[in-house]
Amino acid sequence: MHTHQTKKLDLTSAMEAQGLTKRHWLFFSVIALIMLFDGMDVTIVSHIFPSLIQDWGVEVGGGIAIVVSGGFVGMGVGALIAGRLADLIGRKTVFIWAAALFSVATALGATSGDFAAFTLWRWIACLGMGSTMASANALLSELVPKRNRAALLAVAYAFVGLGTALGASLAGLILPTEGWRLLLAMAGIGPFIFVVLAAFVLPESPGHYLARGSVDRAKRSVKRIVPDLDLNEVEFVLPEQPTSTSEHQTGALTKLMSKTYAPVTILLFIFGFVSLGTQLTIVQYLPILLQLPSTGLDTVQSSAIVSLYGLTSTAGGLLIGVFLAKWSRFVVFGTLLALSSLTILTVALTPAPGYTLLLIMFGIFGAIVPSVLGPSRSILAATALPTDIRATGIGTTEMGGRIGSALGGGIGGVLIGTGIGLSGFLLLLLFPIALLGGALGGLNILSRKKESDNIGAYSSNRHDKVLRSNAQQ
């Protein structure tokens, strides 16, 4: 007598079979909304800088540059700490506390009596922002089905751009009449409401519990995500589980800097350094540049331009997925870099543009430039490296981006302090665009070489198999 025994699915496959449900959309919505506020609070301080210059006599090339570059360093440190803590104590736990930290610190920044206190609260807020972004991506990727992961992460990233637009709109509405303190208070209280909601609504990642050996907790988490799933049909193991975290990380770093992958790793680091550094420097200093005497715009006008810039950059980020589905990533990003150069030259060389013309030009600018400066570094890293070192490679690329952001923030303030104005600032952006083009070209050459080597290896292996087969016959 034979007993028929149904083969159990591993946890990832079992959850994948359930598809995308209403609960997945609920989790996505809560996380994406907090990412929206994270994006808003990253850039909202840029609208406050002109008020601080007026109220406290802060210098752009001094105090403002310190806040910008120090904030980027805080975000990088926060991301590194959050990644480690998320593996130790849970993705949800780190996400909730990180989001609470940046919201509370942002709100308390409104109580600052001097620029030193403002700087301290801003640095604490940036530590929370960097931690929030890292833990949000980790949590979201493990709560949704694997086949929907990339698309939902891309849409969640677009919410960061919406946050930029929302912050600019609030700045234009509040700053002229109520001042910067109310703006900061609202920017902190808003996300805290959703943090409390997230604490009750979001489950912990079942994969985290399983990796830590807590099968019972993993089962309870799965029931919160897909309540209709029969747990008796699930084998609670992870498809891939490294022998130890330290060995896995050390091996990955060694492989990244090996003769085979070092050129790719270096080019990705350069691309991340330049792309994110340039992107965030533009966003941080654009309100100041638009309100310089040479440009002549007021707070409401500059906020409207930055708001449109954020909206069109969101639209551009969504469209990039459509383009990448049809054409090579190198063709898409190369075309966007060429269009970015053309757009920069058009805006910079237009003589004495007024508010209406600047609004139109920066609307177009936002649809093109951030699309190649934003998600491109992660896409290039994910497609250039093998599975066993992919996550570490993406992390290394992101680290380069944060270092570039800190350096760009300091250099940007110094350059504006020299009086180069909006046109001069934009023309200088052609230099990082050229660097990105060079790094992209290098990655393209290495990718083609890799494909050629793989084809050659495949042909050689197939020829050997034919010879062996003939010999056996």
Position 3 scores a pLDDT of 46
Does 426 reside within a domain?
yes
Q: How many domains does the chain have?
A: 2
Residues 222 and 267 grouped into a single domain: no
Residues 422 and 300 grouped into a single domain: yes
Residues 196 and 277 grouped into a single domain: no
Residues 399 and 427 grouped into a single domain: yes
Does 4 reside within a domain?
no
The structure tokens listed for 179 are: 């001042």
Position 239 scores a pLDDT of 54
Last residue of a domain, one of 198, 222, 239: 239
Q: What are the helix (H) ranges across 109-239?
A: 115-143, 149-178, 180-201, 206-211, 215-225
Residues 261 and 229 grouped into a single domain: no
Position 12 scores a pLDDT of 67
Residues 216 and 306 grouped into a single domain: no
Query: How far is it, in rounded angstroms, from Cα 176 to Cα 434?
Result: 39
Residues 193 and 303 grouped into a single domain: no
Residues 345 and 392 grouped into a single domain: yes
Last residue of a domain, one of 220, 239, 258: 239
In terms of Cα–Cα distance, which of 99, 124, 98, 100 is closest to 45?
124
The structure tokens listed for 420 are: 């180069």
Give per-10-residue mean pLDDT for the chain (473 aa).
54 71 90 90 82 80 76 79 75 91 93 90 90 80 74 74 81 86 91 92 84 77 78 64 44 71 88 85 80 75 81 78 72 88 84 81 82 74 62 67 77 77 84 91 86 50 46 47
28: CB partners within 8 A, 6+ apart: 140, 143, 144, 152, 155, 156
In terms of Cα–Cα distance, which of 425, 287, 310 is closest to 369?
310
Does 268 reside within a domain?
yes
Position 1 scores a pLDDT of 44
Residues 217 and 319 grouped into a single domain: no
Does 457 reside within a domain?
no
Does 1 reside within a domain?
no
Last residue of a domain, one of 173, 206, 239: 239
Cα angle 224-230-235, degrees, rounded to a multiple of 5: 95
Q: Name the residue with tokens 């700045």.
A: 171
Residues 325 and 179 grouped into a single domain: no
Query: Looking at the DSSP assignment, which residues form a beta bridge with residue 9?
Result: 234
Residues 315 and 339 grouped into a single domain: yes
CA 459, 462, 466, 467 dihedral sign is positive
Does 58 reside within a domain?
yes
Does 468 reside within a domain?
no
* Exposure class string for 26-36: b at 16+ Cβ within 10 A, else e: ebbebbbbbbb
Does 212 reside within a domain?
yes
Torsion angle of the four alpha carbons 137, 139, 145, 151, in this order, in degrees rounded to the nearest 10: -20
Instruction: Report the CATH number that the domain containing residue 110 is assigned in CATH.
Output: 1.20.1250.20
Residue 318's domain comprises: 247-451
Residues 303 and 412 grouped into a single domain: yes
